Amino acid sequence: MRQFNKFKGTKGFISMYPGHCLAFDTIEKQRNDNRMYILVALDLYSRVGFALGTKSHGSQIMAHFHTYPRTSKMNAHCERLNRTLQEEFIDYNINLLFDDITNFNKKFSDYLLFYNEKRVHHAFKNKCSPLQAMLQSKHYKINLPSDCKNGWTYTYPLQEAYLMLSSFRTSGWSRS
């Protein structure tokens, strides 16, 4: 059997601007014989986190590099986000995850708005949220048109994302 080299990431990599590098991971929760998954993504520069509860672990939809089991240092930023999400939200709403995934995702999106917009982070010396850090970044100030900077919440791409999130809230997003 031929063994292929697996990409293990790059030691010392530094993300230079928002969206430069995203870290992905999956949280698996089990109850009886049922398994549910929370797909987690984190922008390494701004620390903006994204997550979604689902019945599928998402390996079909994500390209990823290999990390060895129980080696949290290889994906440390995302592992820390996983811990925060579990301690502050998932563990308190675990029954909702298994019983009503649509309502779980609705409440989870509200929590993620708080996490990204209002919750200060240790990575920013407990002075700002990920969204505030992103808005203050040089890359954001230089590369985005001024009309986007003046009212970022009203930009067309964000309205599209909001509509998509709203449709997930109403119909639920789960794959069997």
Whether this model's pTM surpasses 0.85: no
Q: What is the pLDDT of residue 154?
A: 47
The model's pLDDT over 121-135, given as tens digits with 9 standing for 90+, comes to 877 777 888 888 777
Q: What is the pLDDT of residue 139?
A: 74
130, with CB counted inside 10 A (0-12, 13-18, 19+), is buried
> Which regions in the chain score pLDDT beneath 70?
1-11, 57-72, 141, 144-176
**6: its two tokens:** 């697996």
Q: What is the pLDDT of residue 148?
A: 60
23, with CB counted inside 10 A (0-12, 13-18, 19+), is buried
Domain assignments of the chain as residue spans, ordered by start: 22-171
Q: What is the pLDDT of residue 56?
A: 77
Average pLDDT, the chain: 76
Collapsed DSSP state (helix, strand, coil) of residue 143: helix
